[in-house]
Amino acid sequence: MNEEDKPDVVLDAVGLLCPMPAVKTAMELEKMKKGEVIEVLTSDHISKTDLPVWCRETGNQLVDIKDDGEILKIRIRKAI
């Protein structure tokens, strides 16, 4: 991870099921500034598909997804 992609906010959504990780992400991004990065921690593997689609639909940038088997780390840069 390079310094520019270091998360500004970490959202712990572990234990929440779809659609709550995306809902919580959207609520947190509303408080953030353009260009800031949120890292979403989730155990709901549907988020691996759901959040990239949400990013495309909202204009935010998916930075990357890391999957350790139990917890997903999804980083998103606020673009709007």
Closest by alpha carbon to 1, among 32, 29, 34, 37? 37
Look up 55 and say whether it is catalytic.
no
Q: Which residue has the tokens 């929440």?
A: 16
| Residue tagged active-site, from 18, 20, 32, 71 | 18
Is residue 60 helix, strand or coil? coil
Catalytic residues: 18
